[in-house]
Amino acid sequence: MRIGAFAILGVLAALVAVPAAADEPEINLKPGPGLDQVVGNCGACHSLVYIQMNSPFLNAAQWTAEVTKMIKAFGAPISDDDAKAIADYLAKNYGT
């Protein structure tokens, strides 16, 4: 009986998640060193569309500040090595 209840909950969760995912535009970020860290860390909390939306406005120092803000202000659990890789990737591929 318990397995059946968990199966039903799983199906219901999937049905709720599918429409939400359908609204997300497909994001194709530029390939390069640090992309895996961006997808794994940044994409865990918010849409990656923010990268493309902010790219016309942010330079390397501002991207570094954004990564720092995500860690210090919002508590993103990003290691120092990943934070550097993310900031470097964003500056190189989406900096002004």
Segment 43-67, tens digit of pLDDT:
999 999 989 888 889 999 999 999 9
Q: Which of 78, 71, 87, 93 is nearest to 27 (CA)?
A: 93
- Answering whether pTM is above 0.95, one says no
User: Would 9 be classed as within a structural domain?
Assistant: no
Q: Give the CATH number, domain containing residue 51.
A: 1.10.760.10
Answer yes or no: is pLDDT of 91 > 80: yes
Residue 65 lies in a domain: yes
On whether the CB atoms of residues 52 and 38 are closer than 8 A, the answer is no
Question: Tokens 């330079």 label which residue?
Answer: 59
Cα first-last separation, the chain: 58
Based on the structure, what is the number of domains in the chain?
1
- Confidence (pLDDT) at 56: 87
Residues shown for the chain: 96
Asked if the structure places residue 21 within a domain, the reply is: no
Range of the structural domain that residue 65 is part of: 27-94
Does 19 map to a domain?
Answer: no
pLDDT number for residue 24: 62
